[in-house]
Amino acid sequence: MIQVRGLTKKFEDFTALNQISCTIPHGCVYGMVGSNGAGKSTFLRLVAGVYRPDAGQVEMDGEPVFENPAVKAQIAYVPDDLFFLGGASMDRMARLYEAAYPDFNRNRYQYLTENFGLDPRKPVHNFSKGMKRQAAIVLALSAHPRYLFFDETFDGLDPVMRNLVKALICEDVLERQATAIITSHSLRELEDLCDQLALLHQGGLVLESDVQRLKTSLFKVQVAFRQDYNETLFAGIELLHYSKRGSVANLIVRGQQEETVAKISALQPVLLDVLPLTLEEVFTYQMEALGYYFDPSGYGFVEGKEGKHEEKLV
């Protein structure tokens, strides 16, 4: 189990993470999303023992991580920026991993290398971006870790490889009760993989929930009334988003679905529809509430002015 309490990390004047607390049980795939600079990579570096926290604690099964070889030996960390020795092949890197990780398994390494179709004798620097990432994943998984930390791991992987990596992660989690933390901009990637999701924003953990509950906590309501109305009509309901076209209004609501429906029904609408949200929509509206919107062109969450955002929605 990973326990994070009051974790804070600063870079000179900039606070990258501020008082983060969370608990990640064994056998859990923990997804972490957030805007650029939200602190996802910093969080992973802290739980991997790369950074020393300025405040707070990271513990794994009650043991601190930083400067603790016994705990770090159970961690495989695949960062966003990969490292390979200059001119090294995968075999050379495997020797380095063997020297560092006591549980590194040669057979698994060979099995995975073959599965991914990588040439272990070819210099890694000649690999494509995706192949480099595959190589890093193969090396990390060969160390038989109990904790798997992947930072933007699916970037650069083709769909086949994404599925293969996901399968391998699930295999480790199911068979060995491993714990995985995966950060990504792509909510779709995490939706079918993670048990829990967390949303980081400006160094703070704004949301942490299991995926199922998250999907039901936010929902969309389409409503229309005979009389003219505006947003004030829905006082008492937590609205994350409100837009109106003609007499029909779209509401994004946080809360209990039955309770919300009952409240709106009491207002005697002529139209009342409750629609489910995709995980991506859930996060989009959560981020929107924080002043961000999701750019579907692939930039993920980007900072935007509220006015502009409304225009876009309208």
Which residues contact other proteins (rule: CB under 8 A)? Answer: 11, 45, 48-52, 67-73, 75, 77, 79, 81-83, 85, 95-96, 98-102
Find out whether 88 and 79 touch, Cβ atoms under 8 Å.
Answer: no
Q: Closer CB to other proteins, residue 32 or residue 214? A: 32
Q: Closer CB to other proteins, residue 103 or residue 192? A: 103
Give dist(CA 163, CA 178) in Å, integer.
18
| Distance (Å) of CA 197 to CA 28, 31, 109, 124, 126 | 10, 5, 30, 33, 35
Output the CA torsion sign for 190, 195, 199, 200: negative
DSSP letters, 160-184, are HHHHHHHHHHHHHHHHH--EEEEE-
Q: Closer CB to other proteins, residue 73 or residue 237? A: 73
Q: Closer CB to other proteins, residue 69 or residue 298? A: 69
Q: Closer CB to other proteins, residue 50 or residue 240? A: 50
Q: Closer CB to other proteins, residue 11 or residue 299? A: 11
| Distance (Å) of CA 240 to CA 48, 173, 235, 284, 296 | 35, 35, 12, 10, 19
Q: Minimum distance between the CB of residue 83 and other proteins, rounded to whole angstroms?
A: 4
Find out whether 166 and 180 touch, Cβ atoms under 8 Å.
Answer: no
Identify the bridge partners of residue 238 per DSSP, sorted by sequence position. Answer: 254
How open is the CA angle 161-165-167, to the nearest 5 degrees?
115
DSSP letters, 196-252, are EEEEEETTEEEEEEEHHHHHHHEEEEEEE-SS---GGGGTTSEEEEEEEETTEEEEE
Q: Closer CB to other proteins, residue 59 or residue 195? A: 59
